[in-house]
Amino acid sequence: MEKFNTMLAAAELATTRCRGWSFAMSKDRYDATGLLALAEMSDSEDPIDEDSFYVVSPTGAIGLCNDGEDIDWLFLSDNTPNEELPLTYQAVPQIKFCPNCGSPVVSGARFCEKCGKRIS
């Protein structure tokens, strides 16, 4: 799941994944043009706190994460209306590789398990 500092940036990605959304709290429906206009207005009138961010699911649903963990889903993708969306945000760990042998290295490891080279 990608994260964004503005609703407009999140909506721009979501429009590449879906063509229609429904607002999670009501029966309001949005097409790409309506979603982008609403996102731009929301960002200018009610920007989020610096600790908050928006997330976009692989199907184009948009959620708001206020505390860095819990996700409040705002716009649900029409592509998969009954999608099981995660309730918490988990950053995808970055896979590191050993500079000596190229083997994947466990996050936080100080040495490669395969060749023993020190990982900086």
In a domain, 7, yes or no: yes
% residues pLDDT > 90 (the chain): 58
Question: CA 2, CA 119: separation in Å to the nearest integer?
Answer: 28
- Tell whether 58 is covered by a domain: yes
pLDDT surpasses 80 at 104: yes
Residue 39 has pLDDT above 70, yes or no: yes
Looking at the fold, whether 38 and 96 belong to one and the same domain comes out as no
8-22 pLDDT per residue, tens: 999 999 999 999 999
What is the residue range of 70's domain? 2-77
Residue 46 φ then ψ, to 5°:
-145, 70
pTM comes to 0.74
For Cα atoms 9, 91, 75, give the angle at the middle one, nearest 5 degrees.
Answer: 40
pLDDT confidence of residue 6: 97
Asked whether the CA dihedral 74, 79, 81, 83 is positive or negative, the reply is: negative
Q: Which pLDDT value is given to residue 106?
A: 77
- Map residue 93 onto helix, strand or coil: coil
67 shares its domain with 97: no
Mean pLDDT of 55-80: 92
